[in-house]
Amino acid sequence: MKTLLLRILLVCAGMAGAFVAPANATVEININRGNVQPLPIAITDFISADGIGAQISAVVEADLKRSGLFAPVNRAAFIEKIQNPDQAPRFPDWTALKAEALVVGRIAREPDGRLRAEFRLWDTFGGQQMTGQQFFTDPKNWRRVAHMIADAIYERITGEKGYFDTRIVFVSESGPKTDRKRQLAIMDQDGENMRPLTSSKDIVLTPRFSPNRQEITYMSFEGDQPRVYLLQLETGSREVVGNFPGMTFAPRFSPDGQRVIMSLQQDGNANIYTMDLRSRTTTRLTSTAAIDTSPSYSPDGNQIVFESDRGGRQQLYIMGADGSGQRRISFGDGSYSTPVWSPRGDLIAFTKQSGGKFSIGVMKTDGSGERILTTGFHNEGPTWAPNGRVLMFFRQNAGAGGPQLYSIDLTGYNEQLVKTPSFASDPAWSPLME
């Protein structure tokens, strides 16, 4: 993954005292509560010789606001104009605005052309610096630096890892509904920096990231033959995952990235198989006259959740990684599909069809505690942010138009449209970049 580092360096000793959290710092958000009140935060334009400082701080502000946990203070109300981010601010000027936290920063260009980005996070009521960091990067990667700063602020205040320095791979759709073109595309989690990964001449479905972030697996109908492929993101090279006699679909990586689990259809039914990517040997995990599909590993790789209609309609089941102990976990009204295990290991997200509508929900891994987060005409395909606190899915509204991507947090209160240049479906969230 060295080539994915984009030559971004986190300097852990670059700002004196920046990494010591004072004992009396009181600014925090308890995200384990239900409806969290957003924290008022002031984010100033980072000082720079050109407009790059304001651009970076604007992305930081947008990331934090979109999380639903932060309420940025209107910049027009700012009293103090920050001249030197190395000096303590005039705290009464910020507490008067009810800003509980303050972010200041500076962007400079090094002699070798790199950007040096630095920021400080202040507790305005406690009058203490909470954290501060420095980054060096090629100027073309300035948006990624902004996401990294937002992650650092999010983690310091919530105690949880952020999710802003991540990417989304999805199916980009264009053209009329009767002749829709589909191709794989990738973008930053906020919808920026989108680029295509495949052409639009073949139907593509269900892209999924590898844990090592360098490749994805997906299904394609290239040559009218449905197959599972591996695509190297950096080189663009790809290969077929085995030559099976029937249709292969719903591929997903194991947590260690060494195997692909998928469904193989033969003689009208479908069963779940794994393939070792090193030896190319396959192992069959289910053997029923039903349709078993959409497998997803637990984070430790010991269990698998999948959907099956073996009981008459689609329901969720769990089994051991070797196929043992298969048991049903969903028992609510309606049909359940597209299960995916949370990176935290505590929840399973799913699509539920009931009463003519489609919902995105979560349940505990034993099937208890089911909660519906959002319901619509057609919602489908949840995918987890790497911190296990936010989901992305796609929605198709009734009538004309096409699918769009949305995100929603586990409270169900913060639903956000993720804007894309074209229609979009089948999102998959990457791990945090390194």
Query: Of residues 177 and 98, which shows the higher confidence score?
Result: 98
Of the spans 122-136, 172-186, 254-268, which averages the highest pLDDT?
A: 122-136
DSSP label of 376? E
Q: What is the mean pLDDT of residues 305-320?
A: 96
* Candidate from 22-36, 95-109, 179-193, 363-377 with smallest mean pLDDT: 22-36
pLDDT at 23 over 50: no
What percent of the chain has a predicted confidence (pLDDT) above 90? 76
pLDDT at 120 over 70: yes
| Structure confidence by residue, pLDDT tens digits, 180-235 | 889 999 999 999 999 999 987 788 889 999 998 689 999 888 877 788 899 999 88
- pTM of the shown model: 0.90
Residue 158 and residue 387 in contact, taking contact as beta carbons nearer than 8 Å: no
Q: How far apart are CA 365 and CA 324, in angstroms?
A: 16
Q: How far apart are CA 234 and CA 372, in angstroms?
A: 37
Residue from 49, 81, 75 nearest 60 by CA: 75
pLDDT band at residue 169 under the 50/70/90 scheme: very high
Residue from 128, 79, 81, 59 nearest 100 by CA: 128
Residue from 292, 368, 298, 372 nearest 334 by CA: 372
pLDDT at 35: 60
